Chain A
């Protein structure tokens, strides 16, 4: 008996160590990236010495700051457009029966499954042939084309039979279609909409492939700028900016969890 227990314990310790190893492999690049934002060298080749100057200097790097704002603007626009279309679409596809439903459902899986480069190239060829000017508009269309499917899938997962009977109740009680939509349907699938918003924003702001191919010559997004800097060497101010961005996201996540927890507590208290 004792031997069996010992063996079990050893197994447990081994699996803990294994998990820690995997997590380290995932986190090492993040910490290395952060560490090199404090490197006192013009291009990051090796460690020279500690400095915080890049956190100030990055503000004077106009190409970097412009691309950051451009990326944020695109991410916001793409998220708003995608989530709006996807919310309607998810409800429509879940709720109604129509002839092309299966076709549309299958189409939605293409941007999720097919390599992004294929979709980007396909859209690019159509745009070049038709003569669409490459720029903000083309990037937006590209980003929405992969944000919409992910959003539809996310939101569809939250629509269940309950929502439907609530809607029927709302209509029976005299609300019209629009009132029912805004006051019953949308609030009931809100968690799905929130996840879709978060997902679309992160997909868009980190996208390289679509932006790279559909950007045109004028302004590039932050990831595309980083990709082009790679040849000459990435300067530590980019590490500084990326470090600030991840800290911002982590703080936002923690705040989000605190608020969620507080709301849950209040709800259970009320009940």
Chain B
């Protein structure tokens, strides 16, 4: 037991590769992008290594500021929808016997083995002007003419919620499942009605799961650009699209980096709040 602490060989051999990989491809790039965000943009794109806060002042200009606010709004709405839809569902599964519950969980995962873009495309096929939904609406007389769903914020929202829902359900499921059932019984025995029990016992005790769900849905939906690309048709732009564009056609690296830094800061803040009442290790990610 004692001598293994002193030997450096095995530590290096085991933890070495992963440490080097993380430093080379996570730490350094993250630091570099912060550095780049304070540089100037080149006339023909790329970077000129001169200090400048221009990219941050650009972020505060109306066009970009609007996009940032809109992205935050959409991510918030997506998260709330996922929590509201996901919590009762997670509760339903958690109350099943273990064996059954694990089957229900697998049933959630299966659709996610289908290519995510093709699943998004399916919503487009379903809701396009001459698609099944519009045909149904027109034929039954609910609507006199086809409704334009395609490339609207509504369809993007549907895509976001359906993509994120499992990431909200899984952590909430595992924390509801861990809930000590005798506490609920005790509460009922002591005369609390179901509503009171839920508010005073279930909700506070499953809060870590709820917060994990918030992190795992809010942060990805803030940065995702595939949903908007597939369902927004280039008309709906969120932070993710803007960042990607700075490294593609537009080639304004400092601005793209500054937007990335903004996402890092938002993520950092959320994680900081999370660590106030739970450990990062408990973030159910897998």
**A-side contacts of B32, CB under 8 Å:** 122, 125-126, 129
Could you name 30 residue pairs across A and B whose Cβ atoms are closer than 8 Å? A16-B92, A18-B88, A18-B92, A19-B104, A26-B108, A29-B111, A29-B126, A30-B122, A32-B126, A46-B128, A46-B131, A92-B11, A95-B4, A95-B14, A113-B215, A113-B283, A115-B219, A117-B260, A118-B264, A123-B29, A145-B25, A149-B22, A157-B286, A209-B226, A213-B247, A226-B118, A227-B230, A230-B230, A234-B121, A245-B114
Check if B97 is an interface residue, CB within 8 A of chain A: no
Task: Report, as a range, how many residues of chain A touch the other chain.
Answer: 35 or more
* Assembly CA distance A24 to B85 (angstroms): 13
Tell me the bound Cα distance from A153 to B13 in angstroms.
Answer: 19
- Is there an interface contact between A125 and B26, defined as CB atoms closer than 8 Å? no
* A101 contacts B by Cβ under 8 Å: yes
Residue B125 is within 8 A (CB to CB) of chain A in the complex:
yes
Q: With A19-B89, A36-B125, A121-B256 as given contacts, are A145 and B263 in contact (CB-CB < 8 Å)?
A: no
Q: Is B22 a contact of A104 with CB atoms below 8 Å?
A: yes
B126–A111 touching, CB < 8 Å: no
Shortest beta-carbon distance, B79 to chain A, in Å?
Answer: 14
Q: Is the CB of B14 within 8 A of A96?
A: yes
Distance in Å from the Cβ of B125 to the closest Cβ of chain A?
Answer: 6
Q: A125-B33, A144-B21 are in contact. Are A230 and B260 (CB under 8 A)?
A: no
Q: Please, which residues of chain A bring their CB within 8 A of the CB of B25? A: 123, 141, 144-145
Q: What's the nearest-Cβ distance from chain B to residue A189, in Å?
A: 13
Return the contact of A250 from the options B110, B126, B253 (Cβ within 8 A): B110
Q: Which of B1, B13, B88, B226 contacts A88 (CB 8 A)?
A: B13
Which residues of chain B are near A92, meaning CB under 8 Å? 10-11, 13-16, 18
Cβ of B197 under 8 Å from chain A: no
Q: How far is the CA of A222 from the CA of B116 in the complex (A)?
A: 11
Q: Is the interface of B mostly helix, strand, loop or mixed?
A: helix
Bound-state Cα–Cα, A150 to B280, Å: 14
Given known A32-B122, A213-B244, A223-B117, contact A111–B26 (CB-CB < 8 A): yes
Please determine whether A88 and B17 come into contact, CB atoms closer than 8 angstroms: yes
* Alpha-carbon separation in the docked complex, A202 to B253 (Å): 31
Query: When the two chains form their complex, are residues A104 and B15 in contact, meaning their CB atoms are under 8 A apart?
Result: yes
Which of A96, A223, A250 is within 8 Å of B15, CB to CB?
Answer: A96
Nearest neighbor of B117 in chain A, beta-carbon distance: A226
Contact residue among A89, A93, A145, A154 (Cβ-Cβ distance under 8 Å from B26): A145
Question: Which single residue of chain A is at the shortest CB-CB distance from B121?
Answer: A234
CB-CB under 8 A from B18, the residues of chain A are 85-86, 88-89, 92-93, 104, 108, 148, 152
Complex: how many Å from CA A148 to CA B26? 11
* A115/B27 contact (C-beta < 8 A), A107-B22, A226-B117, A238-B118 known: no
A1 interface contact, C-beta 8 A: no
Q: Give Cα A206 to B110, complex, Å.
A: 14
B224 at the interface (CB under 8 A from A): yes
Q: Does B171 contact A (CB under 8 A)?
A: no
* Chain B residues within 8 Å of A, Cβ to Cβ: 1, 4-5, 10-11, 13-19, 21-23, 25-30, 32-33, 36, 85, 88-89, 92-93, 104, 106-108, 110-111, 113-123, 125-126, 128, 130-132, 135, 162, 165-166, 215, 219-220, 222-226, 229-230, 234, 240, 243-244, 247, 253, 256-257, 260, 263-264, 267, 271, 280, 283, 285-286
- Bound-state CA distance A134–B283 (Å) is 34
The 8 A CB mask of A23-40 against B (1 = contact, 0 = none) is 101111110110010000
Q: What are the interface flags for A90-134 relative to B under an 8 Å C-beta threshold, 1 for contact and 0 otherwise?
A: 011101111011001011111111111111011111100100000
Residue A194 CB within 8 A of the other chain: no
- The residue that B1 contacts in the complex, of A93, A104, A129, A168, with Cβ under 8 A, is A168
Closest 4 CB pairs of A and B: A115-B223, A92-B14, A89-B18, A92-B15
A115 to B132, CA, bound (A): 34
Residues of B within 8 A of A145 (CB): 21, 25-26
The listed residue with most B CB atoms (<10 A of its CB), out of A46, A112, A125, is A125
Given the known A-B contacts A36-B125, A101-B15, A227-B226, are A246 and B26 also in contact in the complex, defined by CB atoms under 8 Å? no
Q: Could you tell me if B88 and A15 are in contact, using CB atoms closer than 8 angstroms?
A: yes
Contact A108 B22 (CB under 8 A): yes
| B-side contacts of A253, CB under 8 Å | 106, 110
Distance between Cα atoms of A168 and B2 in the complex (Å): 12
**Interface residues as binary, A183-213 with B (CB distance below 8 Å gives 1, 0 otherwise):** 0000000000001000100100010110011
Known: A96-B5, A208-B117. A113 touches B226 (CB 8 A): no
Which interface residue of A101, A150, A226 has the most chain B CB atoms within 10 A? Answer: A226
Report chain B residues within 8 Å CB of A129: 32
- What is the chain A residue whose CB lies nearest that of B8? A98
Q: Which single residue of chain B is at the shortest CB-CB distance from A36? A: B125
Whether A45 pairs with B117 at a CB distance below 8 angstroms is no
